[in-house]
Amino acid sequence: MSQARESDVREDGQIESVSGPVVTAIDLDAKMNDVVYVGHEGLMGEVIEIEGNITTIQVYEETSAVSPGEPVESTGAPLSVDLGPGMLDAIYDGVQRPLDVLEEKMGSAFLDRGVDAPGIDLEKTWEFNPEVTEGDDVSPNDVVGIVPETPSIDHKVMVPPDSEGGEVVDVNSGDYTVEDTVVELDSGEEIKMRQEWPVRSQRPADEKQTPDTPLVSGQRILDGLFPLAKGGTAAIPGPFGSGKTVTQHQLAKWADADIVVYVGCGERGNEMTEVIEDFPELEDPTTGNALMDRTCLIANTSNMPVAARESCVYTGITIAEYFRDMGYDVALMADSTSRWAEAMREISSRLEEMPGEEGYPAYLAARLSEFYERAGYFQNINGTEGSVSVIGAVSPPGGDFSEPVTQNTLRIVKTFWALDADLAERRHFPAINWNESYSLYRDQLDPWFEDNVAADWSEQRQWAIDTLDEEDELQEIVQLVGKDALPEDQQLTLEVARYLREAWLQQDAFHPTDTYCEPEKTYSLLGAIKSFNDEAFEALEAGVPVEEITAVDAIPQLNRVGVQDEWEDYVEELEDEIAEQIGELY
Amino acid sequence: MQKEYQTITEISGPLVYAEVDEPVGYDEIVEIETPDGDTRRGQVLESTSDYVAIQVFEGTEGIDRSSSVRFLGGTMQMKLTEDLLGRVLSGTGEPIDGGPEIEPDEERPIVGEAINPYSREYPEEFIQTGVSAIDGMNTLVRGQKLPIFSGSGLPHSDLALQIARQATVPEEEAGEDGDGSEFAVIFGAMGITQEEANEFMDDFERTGALERSVVFMNLADDPAVERTVTPRLALTTAEYLAFEKDYHVLVILTDMTNYCEALREIGAAREEVPGRRGYPGYMYTDLAQLYERAGRIEGEEGSVTQIPILTMPGDDDTHPIPDLTGYITEGQIYVDRDLNSQGIEPPIYVLPSLSRLMDDGIGEGLTRADHADVSDQMYAAYAEGEDLRDLVNIVGREALSERDNKYLDFADDFETAFVQQGFRTNRSIDETLDLGWELLSQLPKEELNRIDEELIEQNYVEEETEAIEAEE
Ligand SMILES: Nc1ncnc2c1ncn2[C@@H]1O[C@H](COP(=O)(O)OP(=O)(O)OP(=O)(O)O)[C@@H](O)[C@H]1O
Ligand SMILES: [Mg+2]
């Protein structure tokens, strides 16, 4: 987080009461959302309510042993993040304190309290390469220089959005810290590599555009059936253990975004550790660099303070917007937005606010939509285009999608990946239910797939959807009479649909090859199943019994396409082999 | 700050409200002395400049307005020493085994600090429990939290005891583990019956396990509120033994349902806005603060592995207690009523069970190269067989294809030969996987589409197929 300087600290108040993460203070001169320091240990908090002389504060750290009478100081500034080089490859808590720095400062693997740390290293020097020269006119968000931050990402140093802009009078080139002045304007304003932005306000942008490029995920069911657009929004609801986190991790690994902001909001510690251990070793399929070079992690696990859980999604999206302003495509994953909503509920109930549905505060829907509104494909104010895609996991109690968080989320997002306990139980992964899920971006993304992958992309997809639909209907009959009672053509359709499910829709996230499937491979594998379908029906019409067709040796090899590195040749040979073997039957 | 007050204004359920004129810390420990000289301990739930709300652990019975209240000036601590091993303590951490007083090496607050996610080490060391349904299908690893979802009257305790008895890390058996880390069991009982408690204690004593265990006992007739501290004492002890004394600690907490009932009781007494089915809205956070205290830490030898046990009210896993638990833990093991009545021991229902840390804990060098594929294939085959059972009830076996019949047989054998093993049988991972191959070899080779072709060639049991069928 951005740190208050001594001089910023203004007025003193006193603690009046303490109840868990909620503290009230009297005689505190503070504004709504100001950051305050609570008690002798200076625990960080945020003003969330002011009533008469009483100020209510949510505290971002444990409050054990804090007592009434202890001092409270206001910084006079709202909760902000530090923005500048050094955020990639970083792992933060919910208020942007770097967890590695905390470990070092606390000298322990356990999180102590009252320790503050800036979001980016203030002492490290970066190579600043100016993009402006003396005499240039610059306005807010204009790029004044470039810092090669990681092998994948050039960090663009921008004029802060709230600056007046002006004429450049001095430019420094070379190695500087984020606090050194790199560009000076005629107004006297000194531009540094570091800027601050309050997390609860959206960074300004010109105009939202209709997204027309997919965020290619390398996941067959997503790219193939329910694609997400760059700048789009998606929700993944599902009961525990159905695959929300694995899907989010898959997207963080393989989506073709420039920057990934991964927010672990109130979930497991080990899942964050997994990311920290895995990502540095994985290669970004687009750039070939380490995945960590494009990733910023925010980890406020379930056992960390609940107020910081409430703020962690804002910290994440503000960082995402900052990179968007540089013209990058950013993808933000929030796992899980339900924990964020519960944090709101917990704080709200301590404030004794009037509860809405299931105890959630009445402003739940508004907060959710404000958050997802910050996603989009934007025309930035500096003339670049950038996007923030948001993918939120939702954890409905009892797996029941009718609950408020799922329902309010579905009202906003345009892509719905419904996880299904039944599929997960059968180890059909990803357990995304193809009947319930949808993507409202499908039509607007088709041209991209047709231009970049295959001209009949949407046609082929429609065939897959129709076949799966038909299977769904046939299954109901099978449940009653058994498969053998069906006419032969329907039996064959069931067999084809089985390959659609097992070979195409299923994808093993833990298999080194299958984990990522480029759209060309997704298309080609589907094509192979389609040509099996065509050959098989031709044979059936020619009078070959269905058992003989489905007993053809080569067919089950369709299930092995996913794990092939050299899939082009494999698919080509397999198609020939299937055609040949079926051909031999008549 | 040992000021004494006689200012109690209200007593309501487990809560006592008292006026104060000096500041009292949130979470601070309180002693209340009743007129007949009884001392009760409690904890500050809310502190304001003129009154405090106190949650009394040992029940408010006998407390009146003239009782005196003392604030001890600190939060609740656990007295820690390696000598706790072999001891039996009450639900509030006092010795009840007639042994000597605890002489602590140090004291620690029982509300543990969160492990910095950056400092964790990802759990990936296989723990062999000797139970095929777990080792083969839902592998447990060191530092995992893997609860048992059970129902009242089911043999979850037998399963927990079997795991505690049999758990080993195979490499250590072979003596390769030079670091000398030892295994310890912490047993935290919350609201269990005397009978269940005896069962555990007998087993612990008979097998000699007590020596390497610390037992915390809060029984059904002990005060409910006390249950909110028992797991915290147990976990504080576990962390101490793991990260201070290098033990690999297995923590068994039973029954988490009773713990959650206690939370609900306190919430109701405070007149809080309840969450789902009357449980507090913060129950997720509260449970996470317990379950997340499992794990491994970079640079530390020891580890904390948790097996919480809970009985699902009405066998319903969408009930808030199992539901919130499942959202926090790294998988779950279902103990099933039907399998139990069929006499399967342990009656583990594999399909909804899951170990999320399995993927990284198995495979070549950890268990065996074929482990992942075998387990995947057995899942798929068992699920398919299970599905067909409904259909068989309607159309009969004859109406089904040969392929379907094979799957039905597989599902039956899977339950009676693989899951069924008895609470006293200890199977090595090799035995478990070989047994898996035997069962899978009943299916035609082409059906094994989740297994690497090379592995099929190496392991598929060609003749055995008939042998097993003949057995029936
Ligand atoms: N695409 C996949 N490929 C292989 N296995 C998967 C896949 N998706 C999920 N799984 C399996 O399902 C398990 C549970 O998935 P995950 O942890 O993502 O669930 P979740 O929905 O996030 O649950 P929770 O709400 O409790 O966090 C994983 O540990 C893994 O074994
Ligand atoms: Mg998850």
Cβ of B26 and A355 within 8 Å?
no
- Does B53 have pLDDT greater than 90? yes
Tell me if B201 sits within 8 A of B215, measured CB to CB: yes
**H-helix segments, A375-456:** 404-410, 421-425, 442-452
Chain A residues inside the 8 Å CB shell of B116: 99, 102-103, 106, 108-111
CA B4, B8, B11 angle in degrees (round to 5)? 135
Do the Cβ atoms of A302 and B23 come within 8 Å? Answer: no
Question: Which positions ≥6 away from A148 have C-beta within 8 Å?
Answer: A127, A129, A154, A155
- Report the distance separating Cα B347 and Cα B334, nearest Å: 8
Mutate to test the interface with A, among B50, B119, B330, B355 (most CBs of A within 10 A): B119
Round the average pLDDT of chain B to a whole number and report it: 90
Pick the closest to residue B147 from B347, B310, B351, B261 (CA basis): B310
Helix (H) or strand (E) holding A387: strand A385-394
The amino acid sitting at A291 is L
Q: Which two tokens stand for residue B238?
A: 């576990």
Contact residues for A60 (Cβ-Cβ < 8 A; gap 6+)? A21, A43, A44, A45, A46, A94, A95, A305, A307, A308, A311
Residues 6+ apart with CB under 8 A from A341: A360, A364, A367, A368, A404, A405
All residues at 6 or more sequence positions from A576 whose CB lies less than 8 Å from its CB, including other chains: none
The whole-number average pLDDT for the span B158-180 is 72
pLDDT in tens, B78-109: 999 999 999 999 999 999 999 999 999 999 99
DSSP string for A333-365:
EEETHHHHHHHHHHHHHHTTPPB-GGG-BTTHH
Q: What is the pLDDT of residues B262-279, one digit of tens each?
A: 999 888 888 888 888 889
Helix A488-499 with A457-481: angle, nearest 10 deg: 120
Per-residue pLDDT tens over the stretch B198-221: 988 998 888 888 899 999 999 999
What whole-number distance in Å separates Cα of residue B255 and Cα of residue B220? Answer: 10
Q: How many CA atoms, within 13 angstroms, populate the side-chain half-sphere of residue B327? A: 34
Give the separation between CA B61 and CA B40, rounded to whole angstroms. Answer: 10
Residue A434 CB: number of other CB atoms within 10 A?
Answer: 21
- Rounded Cα gap, residues B104 and B311, in angstroms: 35
Q: What is the pLDDT of residue A388?
A: 97
Q: Cα distance from A353 to chain B (closest Cα, Å)? A: 10
Kindly state the percentage of chain A with pLDDT values over 90.
79
**Chain A from 182 to 221: CB within 8 A of any B CB:** none
Chain A neighbors of B328, CB-CB under 8 A = 268, 302
Q: Which ligand is nearest to the CA of A338?
A: 1
Is the pLDDT score of B172 beyond 80? no
pLDDT at B463: 66
Which ligand minimizes its atom distance to the CA of A264?
Answer: 2
| Tokens at B77, concatenated | 């601590």
Distance (Å, whole) CA A92 – CA A102: 9
Report how far residue B278's alpha carbon sits from residue A358's, in angstroms, rounded to the nearest whole number. Answer: 11
Residues of chain A in contact with residue B124, where contact means CB-CB under 8 angstroms, are none
Q: Any idea which ligand is nearest the CA of A221? A: 1
For residue A133, how far is its CA from the centre of ligand 1 (angstroms)? Answer: 52
Q: 3-class SS at B64?
A: coil
Nearest C-alpha in B relative to A345: B281
How many CA atoms lie less than 13 Å away from B431 in the CB half-sphere?
14
b/e map B33-54, b = 16+ CB within 10 Å: bbeeeeebbbbbbbbbbebbbb
> How far, in Å, is the centroid of ligand 1 from the Cα of A321?
29
Which atom of ligand 1 is closest in space to residue A236's alpha carbon?
Answer: 21
Q: What is the mean pLDDT of residues A175-188?
A: 95
Residue A194 in tokens: 């570091």
Please check whether residue A20 touches B, CB under 8 A.
yes
To the nearest whole angstrom, how far is the Cα of B472 from the nearest Cα of chain A? Answer: 25
Instruction: Give the mean pLDDT of A100-115.
Output: 91
Phi, psi (degrees; rounded to nearest 5) at A359: 80, -10
Which one of B23, B285, B332 has the shortest CB-CB distance to A302? B285
> Strand locations in B160-271, DSSP E?
183-192, 213-219, 248-254
Task: Check B295 against A269: CB less than 8 A apart.
Answer: yes
**Residue linked to tokens 């967890």:** A99
* Cα angle A378, A384, A389; round to 5: 35
Q: What is the mean pLDDT of residues A126-148?
A: 95
* pLDDT of A482 above 80: no
Query: Is the bond into B346 cis (omega within 30 degrees of 0)?
Result: yes
Residue of B19, B28, B113 to mutate, testing the A interface (most A Cβ within 10 Å of its Cβ)? B113
Mean pLDDT of the region A499-504: 95
Asked whether residue B468 carries a pLDDT value surpassing 70, the answer given is no
The neighbour count for residue A317, using CB atoms within 10 Å, is 27
Question: What sign results for the dihedral spanned by CA atoms A348, A353, A358, A364?
Answer: negative
Which of B138, B292, B350, B356 to mutate for ligand 1's pocket (most ligand atoms within 8 Å of CB)? Answer: B356
Strands A233-237 and A415-416: parallel
A1 pLDDT tier (thresholds 50, 70, 90): low
3-state secondary structure of A470: helix
Which-ligand-closest: CA of A247?
1
pLDDT above 90 coverage of chain B, percent: 68
- E-assigned strands of A255-369? 259-265, 295-300, 329-335
CA A551-A555-A561 angle, to 5 degrees, is 160
- The candidate with the shortest Cα–Cα distance to B331, out of A489, A235, A271, is A271
Looking at chain A, how many residues does it have? 586
Q: Which residue of A has its CA nearest to B282?
A: A346
Index of the ligand 1 atom closest to the CA of residue B357: 29
Question: What span, in angstroms and rounded, lies between the C-alpha atoms of B444 and B456?
Answer: 11
Helices (H), B348-370: 358-361
Atom 14 of ligand 1, nearest CA residue:
A241
| pTM greater than the 0.90 cutoff | yes
CA dist., res. B294 & res. A303, Å (int): 11
Alpha-carbon gap, residue A503 to A500, rounded angstroms: 6
If one counts every other C-beta atom within 10 angstroms of the C-beta of residue A558, the result is 23
Taking the CA atoms of residue A211, residue A217, residue A223 and residue A227 in that order, the dihedral angle to the nearest 10 degrees is -30
Chain B residues close to A60, C-beta within 8 Å: none
Residue nearest to atom 24 of ligand 1 (CA): A240
Residues of chain A above pLDDT 70, percent: 98
Domains of chain B, with CATH numbers? 3-75 (2.40.10.170), 78-361 (3.40.50.12240), 371-471 (1.10.1140)
Interface test with A, best of B116, B137, B310, B333 (most A CBs within 10 A): B116
Give the pLDDT confidence score for residue A188 in this predicted structure.
Answer: 92
Task: Quickly state the pLDDT bin for A145 (edges 50, 70, 90).
Answer: very high
Report how far Cα B341 is from the mean position of its chain's Cα atoms.
23
Element (H, E) at A578: helix A567-583
Are B114 and A303 an interchain contact pair (Cβ–Cβ within 8 Å)?
yes
The mean pLDDT value of chain A amounts to 92
Q: Which residue has the CA at smallest separation from atom 12 of ligand 1?
A: A243
Place of tokens 């579905």: A410
Q: Give me the torsion for CA of B23, B27, B29, B30, rounded to 10°.
A: 60
Element (H, E) at A583: helix A567-583
Give how far B143 is from chain A: nearest CA, Å. 9
A578 phi and psi, to 5 degrees? -60, -45
A484 and chain B in contact, CB less than 8 A: yes
For CA atoms B402, B404, B407, B409, the dihedral sign is: negative
Q: Do B25 and A342 touch (CB under 8 A)?
A: no
Contact B237, B186 (CB under 8 A): yes
Ion ligand 2: residues, CB within 5 A, are A 244-245
Chain B nearest CA to A545, separation (Å): 15
Is the C-alpha dihedral spanning B327, B329, B332, B337 positive or negative?
Answer: negative
What does the pLDDT read at residue B266?
Answer: 86
Residue B131's CB: how many other CB atoms inside 10 A?
A: 26
* Index of the ligand 1 atom closest to the CA of residue A249: 18
- For the stretch A549-574, pLDDT in tens is 998 989 999 999 999 999 999 999 99
List of chain B residues whose C-beta atoms are within 8 Å of the C-beta of residue A70: 23
In this structure, the residues whose C-beta lies within 6 A of any atom of ligand 1 are A 238, 240-246, 267, 395, 429-430, 507-510; B 326-327, 354, 356, 359
Under the phi-then-psi rule, with left for phi > 0, alpha for psi from -120 to 50, and beta for the rest, what region is A114?
left
B34-63: average pLDDT: 90
**Cβ contact A392:A374 at 8 Å:** no
What are the tens digits of pLDDT across the range A238-257?
999 999 999 999 999 999 99
Q: What is the pLDDT of residue A400?
A: 92
Does any CB of chain B come closer than 8 Å to the CB of residue A427? yes
What is the Å distance from ligand 1's center to A244 Cα? 6
Phi then psi for B163, rounded to 5 degrees? -65, -45
- Cβ distance of A481 and B27 shorter than 8 Å: no
